[in-house]
């Protein structure tokens, strides 16, 4: 039997709509904060992040039409793992879980000499518990410089993300959100620079990924 709330909506739909509304409220608060910022760069960064939050809320609302949004199969995600010239891809792995937080993921390891890159694609199924830890780093204009490297927000092909580079150890990480749903993590060890990570990202078919159901 379907459990419903007073307005006739399913409990799951009501929860999704509540989360979307809270996301919109957070976006509005960030927009106001941006307008009061003294730094134009910081203000622009907050404004862009507010817009991203609003877009995410819209995506959540669109997915809360009374139908449960299930993560796609990890086998489907594996078909989107890139083939990169010169790199040997090892057999991909994957998993899918429905409780307590539904998600699926596929990953593969790539080797070129002493260099190693791991690509992981996660279907968050619009679950904000999986996206929230990335929120601060996705803020446009976020940047942190150290004597060993940097962290900074990036935008590749219209997809928000953040990049980390350690020049001493020659390792780095690139994280992207594709289609407001899929979380891509690319980690490199003993690579020449962060452009290697971006090359891998460019080989992921974002259109094919967005079309997965």
DSSP code per residue over 54-79: HHHHHHHHHH-SSS--PPPPHHHHHT
Q: Kindly give the parts of the chain with pLDDT less than 50.
A: 1-7, 9-13, 15-16, 19, 30, 33-34, 37-39, 41-43, 45-46, 57-62, 64-67
Among 79, 204, 172, 68, residue whose Cα is nearest residue 127? 68
pTM over the 0.75 mark: no
- Give tens-digit pLDDT for 74-116: 999 999 999 999 999 999 999 999 888 899 999 999 999 999 9
How many other C-beta atoms can be found within 10 angstroms of the C-beta atom of residue 96? 18
- Residues 55, 42: Cα–Cα separation, whole Å: 20
Hey, what CATH topology would domain 74-211 get? Protein Transport Mog1p; Chain A (3.40.1000)
Structure tokens at 114: 């002493």
């Amino acid at each position: 039997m379907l459990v419903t709330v007073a307005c006739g909506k399913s409990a799951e739909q009501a929860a999704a709509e509540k989360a979307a509304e809270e996301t919109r409220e957070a976006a509005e608060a960030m927009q106001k904060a941006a307008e009061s910022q003294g730094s134009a760069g910081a203000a622009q960064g907050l404004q862009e992040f507010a817009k991203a939050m609003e877009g995410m809320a819209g995506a959540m609302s669109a997915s809360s039409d009374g139908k449960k949004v299930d993560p796609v199969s990890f086998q489907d995600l594996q078909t989107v793992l890139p083939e990169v010239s010169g790199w040997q891809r090892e057999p991909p792995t994957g998993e899918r879980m429905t409780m307590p937080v539904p998600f699926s993921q596929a990953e593969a390891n790539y080797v070129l000499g002493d260099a190693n890159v791991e690509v992981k694609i996660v279907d968050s199924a619009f679950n904000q518990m999986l996206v929230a830890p990335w929120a601060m780093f996705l803020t446009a204009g976020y940047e942190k410089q150290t004597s060993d490297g940097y962290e900074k927000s990036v935008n590749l092909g219209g997809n928000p993300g953040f990049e980390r580079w350690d020049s001493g150890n020659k390792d780095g990480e690139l994280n992207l959100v594709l289609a407001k749903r899929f979380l891509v993590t690319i980690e490199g060890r003993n690579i020449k620079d962060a452009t290697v990570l971006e090359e891998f990202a460019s080989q992921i078919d974002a259109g094919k990924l967005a079309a997965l159901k």
